[in-house]
């Protein structure tokens, strides 16, 4: 098996130059780097990650912490992040915190602290100040996706704003009795996403001069069956049923469409339905939605992680810039589930 000496000999440079050229750590001119890469490729030389880690103090491995693996949003964020990290020569290790508190403690007090990762990004998880502090104290940058975290860069959508946008779309179509499936304390998630989306819905109604009616709200659990049950309750009475439903997630909105059909109602003739997410099934159901582009969020999160790594390399803690909160884009997508109120 060829070694670094063989690559150096073929490229006509020192072994130190080979190391810098292949690791990306340290100054190497573009022509020299190209010559080294060509020599390594010709010989079939592969950099040892262990040796590279010992030399640079980096593992070239990023840790991703998620609350669930059975939800499309989290897997989509991971897909986007992995795409960017692989292009930059980084591995990704996934930690699923769907278990009990002991599991979370082991992840934050053992796995992430024992030099197994260079940096961490957390998806839709509220991290305690001490969890973040322990990582930052040993030079492991942290990035949050989904909401604010103490002292670190974050990426999130404006949950109040996207709920307003969805509700305003229904108002603009002439709907005046608009129901909401979502937020409650019972089903609240990290960063209070359901509650914030309910606030956006209520703000849009008030701005339009419409009353906020408690009987037009049903709490649900962000799943298709949960949305189905909630919508059946809202649409069951023919005398005071709403003409439109805003669901705080696409899965609940799809459940609402199925409930309406089972009750003999036509979507959107009898009831318009809109959600948030742009779930993979949204187009199949003709669901109008506010897309939050989770794959793109993952790509942006990975870029923030790599930027934080570069910033922290060789910098004293006192000289690090203040963390910035970034707002991810969200777009209204109108399909066939919403229409003008007859």
Instruction: Looking at the structure, tell me whether residues 71 and 116 fall in a common domain.
Output: yes
Instruction: Looking at the structure, tell me whether residues 185 and 281 fall in a common domain.
Output: yes
What CATH number corresponds to the domain at position 324? 3.40.50.2300
> What are the distances in angstroms from CA 321 to CA 48, 109, 302, 316?
33, 26, 18, 11
What CATH number corresponds to the domain at position 10? 1.10.260.40
Q: Which two tokens stand for residue 223?
A: 């799943």
Distance, CA of 169 to CA of 340 (rounded, Å): 10
Instruction: Looking at the structure, tell me whether residues 267 and 164 fall in a common domain.
Output: yes
Instruction: Looking at the structure, tell me whether residues 323 and 200 fall in a common domain.
Output: no
The pLDDT score that the predictor gives to residue 188 is 64
Phi (first) and psi of residue 269, to 5 degrees: -60, -45
Instruction: Note down the domain range covering 215.
Output: 159-291
Q: What is the 3-state secondary structure (H, E, C) of 159-201?
A: HHHHHHHHHHHHHHCCCCCEEEEECCCCCCCHHHHHHHHHHHH
Decide: 200 and 161 in contact? Cβ < 8 Å.
yes
Instruction: Looking at the structure, tell me whether residues 22 and 50 fall in a common domain.
Output: yes
pLDDT digits 0-9 by tens, 310-324: 887 655 444 455 678
The pLDDT score that the predictor gives to residue 94 is 92
pLDDT digits 0-9 by tens, 271-300: 999 999 999 999 999 999 999 999 999 999
Least confident of 15-24, 88-97, 289-298, 322-331: 15-24
Residue 245: pLDDT band with limits 50, 70, 90: very high
The pLDDT score that the predictor gives to residue 58 is 64
Least confident of 47-51, 135-139, 250-254: 47-51
Instruction: Looking at the structure, tell me whether residues 308 and 197 fall in a common domain.
Output: no
Residue 340 within a domain: no
pLDDT digits 0-9 by tens, 256-266: 999 999 999 99
Paired strand residues for 119: 62
Residue 171 within a domain: yes
The pLDDT score that the predictor gives to residue 217 is 95
Residue 137: pLDDT band with limits 50, 70, 90: confident
| Number of neighbours of residue 89 by Cβ within 10 angstroms | 13
pLDDT digits 0-9 by tens, 188-234: 666 688 899 999 999 999 999 999 999 999 999 889 999 999 999 99
- The pTM score is 0.79
Instruction: Looking at the structure, tell me whether residues 50 and 70 fall in a common domain.
Output: no
Residue 336 within a domain: no
Burial status of residue 320 (CB atoms within 10 A of its CB: 0-12, 13-18, 19 or more): middle
Average pLDDT over residues 80-87: 94
H or E element in which residue 333 lies: strand 331-333
Q: Which two tokens stand for residue 172?
A: 């603009």
Residue 338 within a domain: no
Question: Is the bond preceding 145 in cis, omega lying within 30 degrees of 0?
Answer: no
Taken in order 88, 90, 96, 102, is the CA torsion positive or negative? negative
Residue 252 within a domain: yes
Instruction: Looking at the structure, tell me whether residues 279 and 300 fall in a common domain.
Output: no
How many structural domains compose the chain?
3
Q: What is the DSSP secondary-structure string of 21-47? A: HHH--S---HHHHHHHHHHHHHHT---
pLDDT digits 0-9 by tens, 28-64: 888 888 898 888 888 887 665 444 444 445 678 999 9
pLDDT digits 0-9 by tens, 94-128: 998 876 677 888 888 888 877 689 999 999 888 88
The pLDDT score that the predictor gives to residue 159 is 95
Decide: 121 and 302 in contact? Cβ < 8 Å.
yes
């Amino acid at each position: 098996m060829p070694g670094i000496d063989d690559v150096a000999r073929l490229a006509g440079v020192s072994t130190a130059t080979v190391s810098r050229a292949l690791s990306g750590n340290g100054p190497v001119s573009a022509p020299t780097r190209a010559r080294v890469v060509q020599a390594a490729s010709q010989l079939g030389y592969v950099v040892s990650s262990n040796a590279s880690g010992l030399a640079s103090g980096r593992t070239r491995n990023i840790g991703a912490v998620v609350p669930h693996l059975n939800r499309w949003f989290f897997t989509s964020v991971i897909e986007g992040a992995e795409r960017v990290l692989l292009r930059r020569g980084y591995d990704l290790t996934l930690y699923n915190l769907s278990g009990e508190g002991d599991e979370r403690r082991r992840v934050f007090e053992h796995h992430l602290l024992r030099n197994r990762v260079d940096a961490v990004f957390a998806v839709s998880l509220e991290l305690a100040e001490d969890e973040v502090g322990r990582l930052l104290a040993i030079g492991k940058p942290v990035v949050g996706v989904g909401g604010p975290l103490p002292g670190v860069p974050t990426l999130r959508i404006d949950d109040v704003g996207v709920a307003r946008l969805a509700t305003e779309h229904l108002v603009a179509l002439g709907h005046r009795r608009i129901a909401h499936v979502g937020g409650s304390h019972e089903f609240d998630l990290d960063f209070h996403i359901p509650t914030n989306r309910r606030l956006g819905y209520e703000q849009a109604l008030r701005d339009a001069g419409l009353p906020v009616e408690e009987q037009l709200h049903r709490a649900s659990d962000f799943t298709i069956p949960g949305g189905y049950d909630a919508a059946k309750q809202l649409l069951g009475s023919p005398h005071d049923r709403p003409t439109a439903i805003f669901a705080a997630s696409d899965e609940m909105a799809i459940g609402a469409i199925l409930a309406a059909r089972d009750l003999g109602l036509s979507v959107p003739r009898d009831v318009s339905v809109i959600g948030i997410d742009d779930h993979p099934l949204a187009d199949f159901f003709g669901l109008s939605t506010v897309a939050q582009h989770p794959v793109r969020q993952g790509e942006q999160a990975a870029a923030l992680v790599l930027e934080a790594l570069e910033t922290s390399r060789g910098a004293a803690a006192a000289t690090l810039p203040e963390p910035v909160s970034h707002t991810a884009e969200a777009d209204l997508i109108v399909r066939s589930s919403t229409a003008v109120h007859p």
